[in-house]
Structure 1
Amino acid sequence: MIIETKIIEKPSFSAVGITETIRFDTSLPPSENAIAELWGRFGKRIPEITDQLGWRSFGLMLQNPDNPPGAPFEYTAAVQVRQEGQVPEGMTRIEVPAARYIVLTLRGPLDGISDGFKHFWGHWLPNSPYEYDGGTHTGKYEFEFYDQRYTNPNDPISEIDLYFPIRAK
């Protein structure tokens, strides 16, 4: 369930994580899909990242806006880090540029996350004075943000934020 929608200007930040090409299997709920599996593998390796900033995890997505819906895309399970520091083997550092975002705060089990994406693409964006400003054309990421409000995939009071880069039409 969407509990808040706001527009913010977010400064650039650095993240380190594991990137994979994701091909969705729509027959699986979000808590069991390829992204959930990636988070399971990455979670075990988070202690290897020595320059973390607090409890901030990101699901970073850089999609090609020219691709049809359902096309494979790059997804990085990551944590925020200081700009200096070592990157563990098999991981990558991503510099996320500053951008204006619409932020949707969702509350409830993780399997409801697709409702947030559907709301953004199917309702909010077409009815707003903004257009999407992310993806491979601009280098701006859309992302899931997890902090201390996210407790576990089945918690009805767990919260996450979805960030979508936007610009005025």
Structure 2
Amino acid sequence: MIIETKIIEKPAFSVVGITETIQFDMSVPPSENAIAKLWGGFSKRIPEVPSQLGWRSFGLMLQNPDNAPGEPFNYTAAVQISQDGDIPEGMTRIEVPAARYIVLTHRGPLDGIGDAFGHFWGHWLPNSPYEYDGGTRTGKYEFEFYDQRYTQPDDPNSEIDLYFPIRMK
């Protein structure tokens, strides 16, 4: 369930994580899909990342807007860092540019997160004075933000913020 929607200006920030190309499979619940498996592997390696900023994890997506729904996309499971440092083997550093975002806060089990994405794409965006401003054309990432409010995949009180880059039409 979406409990809050707000528009913010977010400054640029840096993350370090692991990127994989994801072929999304709608028949697999989010708690068991390829993204969940990527997080499972990355979470074991988080202690290797130097200069982390608190408990801040990001699921970054840089989509090609020309791709049809269901096409593969790059997803990065990452943690925010405060300064330059050594990047562990098999990981990459990403500079996320400053952007204006619509932020939807989803509360509930992870398997319900698709409803929040559907709300953004199917209801909020078409009925707003904004258009999507992310993807490979602008270099602006769409992302999930996880902090201490996210506890576990099946917790009905877990919260995840979904950030979608936007601009005025």
Normalising by structure 1, we get a TM-score of: 0.99
Return the alpha-carbon distance in structure 2 between the equivalents of residues 67 and 84 of structure 1: 33
SS of 1:31 mapped into structure 2 = coil
Return the alpha-carbon distance in structure 2 between the equivalents of residues 146 and 114 of structure 1: 16
**2:122: which partner in 1?**
122
Return the alpha-carbon distance in structure 2 between the equivalents of residues 83 and 166 of structure 1: 27
RMSD, aligned CA: 0.5
- What stretches of structure 1 of length at least 5 have no aligned partner? none
Provide, for residues 100-144 of structure 1, a one-character-per-residue CA deviation record: whole Å limited to 9, x for no partner.
Answer: 000000100000010011000000000000000000000000000
Normalising by structure 2, we get a TM-score of: 0.99
Q: How does 1:10-159 map to 2 (within 5 A)?
A: 10-159=10-159
The number of equivalent residue pairs is: 169
Return the alpha-carbon distance in structure 1 between the equivalents of residues 117 and 65 of structure 2: 15
Identity of matched residues, %: 83
Return the alpha-carbon distance in structure 2 between the equivalents of residues 124 and 20 of structure 1: 29
Provide, for residues 62-108 of structure 1, a one-character-per-residue CA deviation record: whole Å limited to 9, x for no partner.
Answer: 00001001110000000000231111000000000000000000100
Provide, for residues 14-43 of structure 1, a one-character-per-residue CA deviation record: whole Å limited to 9, x for no partner.
Answer: 000000000011111000000000000000
Return the alpha-carbon distance in structure 2 between the equivalents of residues 24 and 96 of structure 1: 23
List 4+ stretches of structure 1 deviating above 4 A. Answer: none
Letter paired with 2:139: G
